[in-house]
Structure 1
Amino acid sequence: MSITVVDTYSAMRRILMAPPADRAHLLRSMLEANKGMYRYHPGEIDLVAAHLQTSGFPLDRDEERCLDALDTLAAAGAWTRMRRALDDALAVLLEATPGLQAPDITVLLVLGDPGDDHFMGPCKGLTGFGGISGHIAITFWPYPENLERLKATAAHELHHNLRWAPGGVVWDPTTVTVGDHIVGEGLADAFARQLYGDDLGPARIGVPHLHDDEVFGKVLTGLDVTGMQNFTAWVHGDPSAERFGLTPVGLPMGAGYAAGNRLVDTYLAATGQTAAQALHADSAEIIATTLRRG
């Protein structure tokens, strides 16, 4: 298998410096590399609309701010660091899971929208999507804390990609539960922590609630919820649910990530496994192990 980190730096710089009328076409060309990420989307996907709806950099404002952010990413060696992190993480997963069949993966690091208050605030300038086999997309604003966690973020998304790849854990939209999603986030965070430590490994949105028993208890009440439209509130929290017009459930931002970390850590401690070895661990067994231990 191979991992391709697309040179989105050059493409985004070209887009942001182009006449406004040409930007959508150039952006669409850049995003084509990850079009397969939307293969389960009903009907034809408008890549530019999807980019804008998911906090991607704007095409009609904030050009200088975005160009400055691109320069910050380039100065930090972001694309090289991501490529090395993904190669290192893959080697660890392959060693831990003999016979692992990994797909070719295309990775897009895309600048976020500095004018999007939800992205820059509650999301802390970072969203990632690695759940569709063969594709990883990371929307990023170069806050210092995000730059420090860049390699851990890449490892987190790679764990998702290989957990739900063909031959791995099946994500069936008709039966998948909040618990399945939360366990996946917990395992991906545990893998990032395995490689980069407890300071850099956890997703930032979950950190404030890692030790909050009330939040953990509330999340446990939703583990059997099905219907992927319900997952945002339980996994990401009310701020994201409200942003997308979904029903909040009374949870803070990142609650599901925090709960997932606790569920997974209990399981790993009980079994003596690493997060890499638990790549394909059954979410029901992980949850049951934690609940048995109280």
Structure 2
Amino acid sequence: MGKVRINLINSLDFYDKCLLGNACENSFRYELMKPMKTMWDYLNVPLQASEPNGYDVVMASEMLGIWTPRKSIQQVKDNLPKLIESGVFEEYQGVISKGIDEFEKIGYSIPLEEINVNILLGDEDSQQIQVNKGYSGFGGIPGYIILMVVPNDFNKKRLKSALAHEFNHNVRFTFEPFNHGDVTVEEYLVLEGLAECFAEEMYGKEFIGPWIEDFDEEEMEYSTEVIKEGRKIKGFGEVSAYMFGDEVAKKQGYNPVGLSANTGYTIGYHLIKQYLANSKKSIAQATLTSTEEIIRVSKFFG
């Protein structure tokens, strides 16, 4: 496999058109999202619904917390300058290249011809964005990374780390594909723990994401025990209750299991930390290790 191309979708041009009043929902679909069509096809999301107000890429984007032309243009006026000031449009390529280098060091040539990066404004009204202190991402389909941001003082310093997190998902899924219907709690714990430990390795613990909570010893023990009991449970809906906690589970229609916010991300992070300590492997090597072996060697659940 040759060198991986890193492509940036020209979101800035789209937002400039929005500010001039020259962009609409179709511009969003065919200028901003059509370059990601392979990703959306994989997720069974059409660029344009067959019926008015049907499920399509605009609706799916809103569900993810992405600003669309259906929302107030004032959000673009307020947030675009701050997103540009963050430097992420100059730094994204260095982040992905640095990540690729980490895997080349261990002899893994990432089996992708290109990685497409789409840096987007988040929607201020999105609950998902609010919960995550103004930013989130999606790297679940190899070759595609979305970063969505409502820029603020907290997240502007963490955007490189967030890109590194999503890049790790891209690589992980080239090794161990993700199946929403069959995913287990264990697999999801490992997936998110790997991504955040990779981002931490690249950019430092001070830029860790807000999805890693600072549990005290009692809550850590309790949460670990609850997840240990449910770690073989399958299915994205059921697993989500363990990853996101009771509050999100209730709002999204999942059955709560007695956990606080972001518990799965926090436990996954500590699980991977323990695996790295026990195995003496690098985080890049760990990313290319089966979930089963990571759970066994970590001895996290005893």
Superposed counterparts of 1:1-294, under 5 Å: 1-18=4-21, 22-29=23-30, 30-42=32-44, 44=46, 46-116=56-126, 118-165=127-174, 168-200=175-207, 202-209=208-215, 212-213=219-220, 214-291=222-299, 294=302
Structure 2 vs 1, CA of residues 44 and 9 (structure 1 numbering), >3 Å: closer, same or farther? closer
SS of alignment partner, residue 84 of structure 1? helix
Deviation at 1:62, TM superposition (A): 3.3
Cα RMSD for the two superposed structures = 2.2
> In the aligned structure 2, how far is the partner of 1:17 from the partner of 1:239?
40
> In the aligned structure 2, how far is the partner of 1:108 from the partner of 1:243?
28
Deviation at 1:189, TM superposition (A): 0.7
Structure 2 vs 1, CA of residues 96 and 27 (structure 1 numbering), >3 Å: closer, same or farther? same
Structure 2 vs 1, CA of residues 66 and 42 (structure 1 numbering), >3 Å: closer, same or farther? closer
Structure 2 vs 1, CA of residues 135 and 169 (structure 1 numbering), >3 Å: closer, same or farther? same
Normalization by structure 1: what TM-score? 0.89
Deviation at 1:106, TM superposition (A): 0.7
The letter of the residue matching 2:93 is: R
Structure 2 vs 1, CA of residues 210 and 271 (structure 1 numbering), >3 Å: closer, same or farther? farther
Deviation at 1:292, TM superposition (A): 6.4
> In the aligned structure 2, how far is the partner of 1:43 from the partner of 1:58?
16
Deviation at 1:174, TM superposition (A): 4.9
Structure 1 gap segments, 5+ residues each: none
Of the structure 1 ranges 155-164 and 213-222, higher mean CA displacement relative to structure 2 is found in: 213-222
Structure 2 vs 1, CA of residues 209 and 102 (structure 1 numbering), >3 Å: closer, same or farther? farther
Structure 2 gap segments, 5+ residues each: 48-55
> In the aligned structure 1, how far is the partner of 2:180 from the partner of 2:29?
28
Residue 52 of structure 2: aligned partner: none
Of the structure 1 ranges 182-191 and 53-62, higher mean CA displacement relative to structure 2 is found in: 53-62
Segments of 4+ moved more than 6 angstroms? none
Residue 51 of structure 2: aligned partner: none
> In the aligned structure 1, how far is the partner of 2:301 from the partner of 2:65?
40
Structure 2 vs 1, CA of residues 217 and 17 (structure 1 numbering), >3 Å: closer, same or farther? farther
Deviation at 1:248, TM superposition (A): 2.4
Structure 2 vs 1, CA of residues 67 and 93 (structure 1 numbering), >3 Å: closer, same or farther? farther
